[in-house]
Structure 1
């Protein structure tokens, strides 16, 4: 589904990756874990075509087997939700318009982008499934952080994508909204679709995720199962501090000490 091969990439003239290699297969559920500044968000921007890697001989980034996949095709196959998208979204857009904008890859409402009746019906069905139908006419800026995050999830799901990419799903959410979001992600995974989640909190790694990639200073330092990598030793090394990790029913908890 996604293949980085010896990829070098820059973000604002700073080299983030140097010959990065990573492969993610269809139907995998992967958590990319690392401290702030490790390169997690840059990795997702490369997948989402917000950034492009340096063109070098022997280096490539393939999405669904293609180095030149069109953005419209990519939107149909991968849904994307991030904190940056939430912060930059047009504030005076109604909730239904936010969801409909997912059909066009737009941020906000644009007069020349007119949804069909079928698309409106689809958007409302997605909103109903996420229990946000009551917010349809509300302005984006007036919603709570949890409501905004669910709205952007609805926007990402309008195409019924093969995969969902979620950058720090519980960032800025209170406990109730965080648990709701993780429950929605579990439901998405139950349909057999792929999930790529970036975080620096192990309690955001839902039980359905079976693979973990540890990233630090633009380098993949480990790649394996949760049982192998979500350990006190591995995470203490990743974050350079003493951490203790426990597991219960597929959920992990981590604390300092």
Structure 2
């Protein structure tokens, strides 16, 4: 390999994500327009915008749950590669989806599932440990490790069906961490959480960020943006309309324009809040 190719390969490996001229349709409607975006591996980034602006679709594109429109000049690279076996790709990043319902956690029919079992089931993208799944000792060790990383070891023996919304969110984060991912993607992580649970969640995410896990946080709440997040991407109408340091992006004029309403920004020690 020539020196120039080696440098190019090293450059791509440094990046979790590289998107160029990406357009994405859902049904007959194009919802992302000419997205150009790169995120370094280990970087902490917030994607901020009003409901319906395309934030979640962008996350689905990052995780290959939705594919862009194929056209000249379009490019998608994840950890330096254009093609992935999705099973292998899932081991490189963790995903914490919006909401607490769906297929991630067990429902009423599997009420006997403990927190530890739900985390182990993350290795199989299953909601619970079905009898046909082969669980190794290493999987159990990693699941315990994931719970300990977010200071939730006490949830290991609790039944998921009896957990609070905040506790379930912590189980979802632990599931996302079992592969020891290089990047963690979180879509509206504070939804459905009360004030105490929001505080616990933000403290957990701060610890992960300080330990070196890269965070890509999608939100429309200014209070979700951790002090460790220095880069903010603004989205409106399926387009990126701002990308830069938090001090430049999170101002009253920019946010007022973004949300099409008067916004005031205040600061409480390291945190920002709006009204």
Separation of aligned partners in 2, 1:106 and 1:16: 30
1:143 matched to 2:143? The reply is no
Separation of aligned partners in 2, 1:177 and 1:42: 26
Contact 2:54 2:237 in 1 (8 A): yes
More moved, 99-108 vs 184-193: 99-108
Q: How does 1:159-170 map to 2 (within 5 A)?
A: 159-170=179-190
More moved, 217-226 vs 62-71: 62-71
2:177 aligns to what?
A: 157
The alpha-carbon deviation at position 75 of structure 1 amounts to 1.8
Separation of aligned partners in 2, 1:108 and 1:19: 39
The alpha-carbon deviation at position 125 of structure 1 amounts to 2.5
TM-score (normalizing by structure 1) = 0.93
1:191-214 CA-partner distances (Å, limit 9, x unpaired): 122110000011110100000000
Structure 1 residue matching 2:253: 3-state secondary structure: helix
1:42 aligns to what?
A: 57
The alpha-carbon deviation at position 135 of structure 1 amounts to 3.0
Q: How does 1:1-257 map to 2 (within 5 A)?
A: 1-84=16-99, 86-89=100-103, 90-91=106-107, 92=110, 93-255=113-275
Separation of aligned partners in 2, 1:9 and 1:182: 31
More moved, 131-140 vs 1-10: 131-140
Change (3 A) 1:13 1:108: farther
Change (3 A) 1:109 1:49: farther
The structure that has the greater radius of gyration is: 2
Contact 1:75 1:105 in 2 (8 A): no
The number of residues matched between the two structures is: 254
The alpha-carbon deviation at position 136 of structure 1 amounts to 2.8
Alignment gaps of 5+ in structure 1: none
Alignment gaps of 5+ in structure 2: 1-15
Separation of aligned partners in 1, 2:22 and 2:33: 6
Contact 2:252 2:263 in 1 (8 A): yes
Contact 2:22 2:32 in 1 (8 A): yes
Separation of aligned partners in 2, 1:249 and 1:73: 41
TM-score (normalizing by structure 2) = 0.87
Runs of 4+ with >4 A deviation: none
The alpha-carbon deviation at position 137 of structure 1 amounts to 4.0
Separation of aligned partners in 2, 1:36 and 1:210: 22
